[in-house]
Structure 1
């Protein structure tokens, strides 16, 4: 799977952050430190959004998921070989 291949070339630690500011009071889960080209990042974001059952986007080396999906994202990334942590 594309996620497994990306895990092999990812940085040592992927960060998962919950952001509340600048979003009209809405929460967003942001996954940073992903080293991937745009196509691979979009594919990874698509799989993550489907797993979490939410919307989101991928750009600038980050994946943004709508709402608080930290725990689901952490579990999903670790199952695919990423080293991840919640900040």
Structure 2
């Protein structure tokens, strides 16, 4: 007996509805001609991946940062028009950004 069957027995009058899919995550971000720069730095002895070079709106940049942090399940922040991701995730970030349609340039190593 799965969860749906158990819920039907507990609440026989309830009519289930389809969950609403949030379209916020799939909103179109402003695409730019110049590539985003993806580089690796060590700050205080800890690895960080830095994404810079986005020329769109700050709100779009924050949405992009949140999507990356959620997809990678890591922490990070947005400061001074750069996204700082904790850890060395250059390859994964570049694949995610290219899938979204961004041009990405790897800087250093």
Q: TM-score, with normalisation over the residues of structure 1? A: 0.85
Contact conserved, 1:29 with 1:70, CA < 8 A, in 2? yes
- 2-side partners of 1:25 and 1:70: how far apart? 17
Contact conserved, 1:74 with 1:84, CA < 8 A, in 2? yes
Aligned twin of 1:33: 53
Q: Describe the SS at the equivalent of 1:15.
A: strand
RMSD: 1.3
Structure 1 portions without partners, runs of 5+: none
Q: How does 1:49-64 map to 2 (within 5 A)?
A: 49-64=69-84
Q: Kindly tell me the number of residue pairs found equivalent between the two proteins.
A: 82
Q: TM-score, with normalisation over the residues of structure 2? A: 0.69
Aligned twin of 2:41: 19
Bigger relative CO (Cα 8 Å, ≥ 6 apart):
1
Q: List, as ranges, runs of 4+ consecutive aligned residues in structure 1 with deviation greater than 3 Å.
A: none
Contact conserved, 1:32 with 1:62, CA < 8 A, in 2? yes
Give the greater-gyration-radius structure (CA). 2
